[in-house]
Structure 1
């Protein structure tokens, strides 16, 4: 009887081996059939027809044709992949369009796959990689003043356009809503009752970003975010080449150059913020508050322009935190 049982067991093991081999031999396609028809159905064909419609082209990619072509030329060496004997690579043209549509609409990867004909798994690698390439080729566009003369030009523009003398820039923070990862707990939970990451920026008188810091969790206040930046370190150690205090009028002498901020930031010799409501006990203070608020609206308006252009800032971004940083600003701790 024992030998019969052993024979049965051997036969059963052999059957399992045969079935496993059959499962392993079952071949699968690289992707779904409709995803392989990218040249036929993708929105890149639509873009060719939009070339003759400048307003529609700009609305679709949030930039005009010349800017798009220049950007494509710059990022192609960084995002181009080689074809293999197995399949063709996704072209830089398609990669950049998918990335710009993601930023312009804020749609999920699952939703984007129907217009790009690229799988969500591939988009999860393509979009952060392309955003990182865009940052590398355009990081010098943010011209942070590094000389006294450049700071003085900023101050002159603020005085001319916003009637606030000796203003070097307007500073504020914006909470970018995110879908937190499962193990993050309340790490990103902010005072507004949402999960977010903080975008800290300094803007000049013409709504141009001079400095961007992004990546700090939403629990930290704007003042706390500022204190973690290289900008704050250099400001405290007097390494920013800020002009020395000088006279504004004969009545206002030795006035320092400042950044205008809101109540979330600390008051210092180089940071001016409005008086609180309980402190408004004179017309002079009310006029001062009006001037500070008027100058500080520049950074609020810049955030509005940014979110209007790239609608991803109106959504809850459902990506891993490190990919959110790559997809938006590439965190540089305040000295972009």
Structure 2
């Protein structure tokens, strides 16, 4: 009697039974999780009132309705200090964002005006105040503000980042950037200054030391490449603070394009008073790895006179990126404190600030008086 078919059938039956056990176990786990969610929903305290009475007086006392109107009529400087931009730019911002953030009115309650949402977000970014503190100024519930801020931040980034943050992709565009560094910072064949800034955050739950950096704080990394006029050419936001600047840059799309020769860089060209061709390159500090398209300073050991001069010139060429981070933090002072939001929202807050940054050194000098509180 042939037993092989019977053994095969037995093995198949055992395998099918094990698969059924696994599926059943998974189903039980899912059911338990769903039951927990249902219990949590039942435990939530129902709303006692539809809307607090004091919030209904927003048109009489709110900052957006009263204070901004008063400042617009009598003190434009204070208006710019309050929102970090002049009335014309604020109006343009509201008009362009309205299709993305405006909601429909309900039978029971009117939706928030898009201008109010933008003003709340700009004031939060300008000061870093708590949502509760903002609620008493704008007369908007704090639980509403906590949903308005990330919504508007995402809308600003989606609307402006492709328009205002443009990375060169052709040899002529890269040469134009290099010309700015040669004329303004006396450093030739430079296609940008790169650096990373640690933005302090509240330690996320169960994150361990993932966001803990060498400064002893929890942070995410804002990586940026800047031209000679403080204009942003490329950004990367959201890497955990425990990574080095070089490690963060290595994971970006720009690094891959440069390393694979797909960034459209010009061929090597000679420097003034020299016949030796030199690669076009980024300038960075010692935290980055040396590449043919990236230059870092010499080590501080056994420096010759020529090496010291080179380090000095390279340090000058890196000033634009350092100055850009300083201007950004002074203009939007939420970056000077701790961002108290969930990890998924960090990138929205920080990334939004970059399109809102002044377009260059000209606007930066004009708005310097309005950067303080």
Using the size of structure 2 for normalisation, the TM-score is 0.80
1:47 alignment partner in structure 2? 68
Answering whether residue 255 of structure 2 is matched by residue 228 of structure 1, we say: no
* Runs of 5+ consecutive residues of structure 1 not aligned to the other structure: 1-25, 332-336
Matched, 1:111 2:126: no
Q: How many residues align?
A: 306
Tell me, yes or no, if structure 1 residue 80 matches structure 2 residue 102. yes
CA shift for structure 1 position 37? 1.6
1:152 aligned onto 2:175: yes
What are the within-5 Å matches in structure 2 for residues 26-65 of structure 1?
A: 28-44=48-64, 45-52=66-73, 53-65=75-87
Please give the alpha-carbon distance, in whole angstroms, between the structure 2 residues aligned to 1:108 and 1:36: 21
User: What TM-score do you get using the length of structure 1 for normalisation?
Assistant: 0.88
User: Which is worse superposed, 124-133 or 113-122?
Assistant: 113-122
Residue 127 of structure 1: which of 126, 134, 149 is its match? 149
Unmatched 5+ stretches in structure 2:
1-45, 354-373
**Cα displacement (A) at 1:330:** 6.3
State the superposition RMSD in angstroms: 1.6
Moved more, 260-269 or 46-55: 46-55
1:86 Cα shift? 1.0
Shift, 1:251, TM fit: 2.8
Kept after mapping to 2: 8 A contact 1:196/1:217: yes
**Counterparts of 2:206 and 2:188, CA distance in 1:** 48
* Cα-to-partner distance string for 1:33-60 (whole Å, 9 max, x where unaligned): 2122211121011101111322111111
The within-5 A match list for 1:184-195 is: 184-195=207-218
Mapped partners of 1:327, 1:86: distance in 2: 31
Instruction: Map 1:115-264; keep pairs closer than 5 Å.
Output: 115-139=137-161, 140-264=163-287
Whole-Å separation in 2 of the counterparts to 1:160 and 1:290: 17
Give CA-to-partner distance per residue, 1:206-238, whole Å, 9 cap, x none: 111111111000000000100111111111111
1:284 to 300, 306, 320: 306
> Counterpart of 1:16?
none
Runs (4 or more) in structure 1 with deviation over 2 Å come to: 249-252
CA offsets 1:223-268 (integer angstroms, 9 cap, x no match): 0100111111111111111111011134351110010000000001
Instruction: Say whether residues 1:273 and 2:296 are aligned partners.
Output: yes
Tell whether the 8 Å contact from 1:223 to 1:266 is kept in structure 2 after alignment. Answer: yes
**SS across alignment from 1:51:** helix
Task: Verify the 8 A CA contact 2:156 2:352 in the aligned structure 1.
Answer: no
Pair 181,31 (structure 1): closer, same or farther in 2 beyond 3 Å? farther
Q: Secondary structure at the match of 1:194?
A: coil
SS in 2 for 1:185: coil
Alpha carbons 1:214, 1:330 under 8 Å: kept: no
Q: Which moved more, 1:178-187 or 1:269-278?
A: 178-187
> Could you tell me whether the CA contact under 8 Å between 1:243 and 1:257 is conserved in 2?
yes
| Whole-angstrom distance in 2 between the partners of 1:188 and 1:323 | 15
- Partners of 2:323 and 2:311 in 1: how far apart? 18
Larger deviation: 49-58 or 220-229? 49-58
